Amino acid sequence: MQTWKQIWLKKSVRNLSNITLQDLIVASGFNTGVGSYNAKNWRIMVADFCRKIALQPDCKILEIGCGSGAFLYAINEIYNVESYGIDYSESLIEVAKAAIPKGKFKAQPANQLSDFKTSFDIIFSHSVFFYFPDHEYVKKVISTWTKNLSSGGKFALMDLPDEKHEATYHSERMQEYKDPSKYEDDYKDLRHLFFNKEGMIQYLESIGMENVQLFPHVVTSYGNARFRFNIICTKP
């Protein structure tokens, strides 16, 4: 059985010279079952994020776990921004570099500062933190990168599985199997972290972040929308 890391290290795009947004969405894993997005709904989701975070042209924006660069690519369709991204998958970082030639991307673990040598106006992550090994690692990543935010900068985590819905999530996934034990076998090495909303708010406030707010998924047809939440805050 493969681990999540083994899966992501193999992801790529066949033709790097003619990349579409849908290619990037597929390479980032949003092409199966309840986790699927098409390019139209992806753009709606990204545009809503840009409004929520009050994104401004020419800002410096870093994505933690950028994968193929699908999110940053869609942002760049709307705004001219300085794009930065990190991901542990070297193959996906090469895709991101091809998709956004002006961007700066680095293959590295999420809990280490990069050598970008700049601070950022926005740091965010989309649909990534639940792949981390445990909640202590999550806190390490957050504390490490929020130090690189400019004063007044925004930090956002999107698509976090809500622990309140963990049992329902697994129950519904099991119903897709004739033999529920097969679900356990298939996913025993592919677990997700689930997050407590109040706990996340308290942690972000404890490290000095302000205006911590939750916001829902704008694309309600996204199959995981009712199981997950988004959170945004500001560095004073």
Domain positions in the chain are: 4-234
Q: Where are the alpha helices (DSSP H) in 10-134?
A: 21-27, 39-52, 70-78, 90-99
Q: What tokens does 81 get?
A: 């921004």
Tens of pLDDT, residue by residue over 88-142, are 999 999 999 999 999 999 999 999 988 898 999 999 999 999 999 999 999 999 9
State which fold the 4-234 domain adopts: Rossmann fold (3.40.50)
* pLDDT tens digits for range 187-230: 565 678 999 999 999 999 999 999 999 999 999 999 899 999 99
Alpha-carbon distances of 59 from 3, 42, 54, 144, 153, rounded to whole Å: 35, 21, 11, 20, 10
Residue 79 reports pLDDT greater than 60: yes
At residue 169, the pLDDT reads 73
Q: What is the pLDDT of residues 38-53, one digit of tens each?
A: 999 999 999 999 999 9
Residue with more model confidence, 24 or 35: 24
What are the helix (H) ranges across 59-149? 70-78, 90-99, 135-146
- Residue 31 token pair: 């092409």
